[in-house]
Amino acid sequence: PVMIDDVVVGSVGRLKASNWHAVVDVRVKPDVVVPANAVATIGQTSLLGSMHLALDPPLGEAPRGRLAPGSTIGLNRSSTYPSTEQTLSSLSVVTNAGGLGQIGDFIHGTATALTGREGDVRDLLSRLNTLVGVVDEQRDRFNDTITALDRLTTTLSHQKNDIIEALHTIPGALDVLLTERARLVTAMQKLGQFSDTATQLVNSTQDDLVENLTNLEPTLKALADVGPELGTVLAYIPTFPFSQNFVDRAIRGDYINIFATMDLTYARMKRSMFLGTRWGDPNARMVPAPGDPKPSNYTYAPLGAGVAPPPQDGPPLAPAPAAAQPVLPVTPPPAPVGRSAAIFAGPY
C-alpha cells in the first residue's frame, strides 16, 4: 500500500529495475494531495514483514505544494526505514558481548566514586552551571573572536609568500645576532651601568631638581597667563618689523603699498624727533590735528584771518637820566594789546 500520514491513499503498480535500483509506479486516489516536497520511504507495516511506501514530507518540514500527476521522485529523495532484521541484529551486538557488561562496570565505578562526595559533586555541578551560563552570555564575543580569527587566517593566507620569505630570512638574521652576541651582551652591561649612574644622579640631585622646578613654577605660570598673546608674538617674529596682516595687504611682490600721514611741524619734531637734544622741547605747543578742538590762536584759513591791529601809543616815557658818557637811544617794543594774532596751522 501507499500511505500518507499513516493513512492508506493508494497502491503500488508496476515495478521494474533500472541500474540496480527499483522503479515503482504509484497510484493514489484522485482527491489525495501529494506534497511537492514528499519523500518516498519504504518501511514495514508490521513485524511479520508487510511493507508499505510512505509519501511524507521530510521530518521537521511542513507539506508544501502539490505533486503533479506523472511526476518523478528522484533517488535522492527516497530512503528506507530499518527493518526488523537490522534492529534485532543491532540489539544482539549490544547484548551478546557488545559492551553491556562494561556499562555495568562503568555504572558501579561511578557510584563508588561519588559515594561520600555528594556535596562536592553538587558544588561542581553548580560551578559547571555557572561556567556554562557565562559561556552562553559570551557567545557573541566567541563568535566575533572566531570571525576575527577567520579574517586573520585569510590575511595570512594572502601573505603566504611573504611569510615563507620571512621564514627563509629569519635564520640569516639569527646568525647575525649570534655573531654579534658578545657586543650585544657588552651593550646590555653598559646600559645597566648607565642605568645605575642615572639612578645615582637622580637620587643625588633630586632635592635640587625639585627646588628648581618649584622656582620655575612662577615663570611657567606667567608664561601660561600670556599664552593667548604668545601665539600673536610668535606669528609676528618671522615677518618682523611688519605684521602678517600688513604683509598680506601691503607687500605685493617687489613693491609696497603704504598710506601715511606725516606730521613734520616744528612743534611735533621738537617733542618727538629732537627730544633729548638741544633742540628738543617736551613742552612745545602742538598744532591741533584735524578734528581736534580749534584753539583761538590757530586757524585753518589764514587768508581770512586778517592782520593784527598795530599797537597803540603808550604813555610818555620818563626822560632818561643824564649819562656821563654818550648812550645810544633805545626804543622798547610795544606792549601787546588785545588777543594775539592767529597762527597758521595748515594746510591739511
Question: Would you write out the chain's pLDDT as a tens digit for each of its 348 residues?
Answer: 888 888 888 888 888 888 888 888 888 888 888 888 888 888 877 767 678 888 888 888 888 888 888 888 888 888 887 777 777 777 777 666 556 667 777 888 888 888 888 888 899 999 999 999 999 999 999 999 999 999 999 999 999 999 999 889 898 899 999 999 999 999 999 999 999 999 999 888 988 889 999 999 998 888 888 877 888 888 888 887 777 887 887 777 777 777 777 888 888 888 888 888 888 888 887 766 666 665 555 565 556 655 556 656 656 655 655 555 555 555 555 555 444 444 444 444
Question: How many domains does the chain divide into?
Answer: 1
User: Distances from the Cα of 156 to the Cαs of 136, 144, 146, in angstroms?
Assistant: 30, 18, 15
Q: Tell whether 337 is covered by a domain.
A: no
d(C-alpha 197, C-alpha 205), whole Å: 12
Nearest to 287 by CA among 302, 276, 277: 302
Longest dimension (CA), the chain: 187
Nearest to 171 by CA among 160, 161, 159, 179: 179
d(C-alpha 68, C-alpha 134), whole Å: 52
pTM of the entire predicted model? 0.29
Are 9 and 28 contacting, i.e. CB atoms less than 8 angstroms apart?
yes
pLDDT of residue 312: 63
Bridge partners, residue 18, by sequence: 21
For 91, phi then psi, to 5°, come to -65, -35
Q: Residue 48, Cβ neighbours under 10 Å: how many? A: 7
Are 53 and 41 contacting, i.e. CB atoms less than 8 angstroms apart?
yes
d(C-alpha 247, C-alpha 258), whole Å: 11
d(C-alpha 263, C-alpha 61), whole Å: 105
pLDDT of residue 348: 42
DSSP H helices, 205-239, are: 206-225, 227-236
pLDDT of residue 309: 61
Taking the alpha carbons at both ends of the chain, their separation in whole angstroms is 128
Q: Tell whether 47 is covered by a domain.
A: yes
The residue segments making up the domain with residue 82 are 2-61+74-90
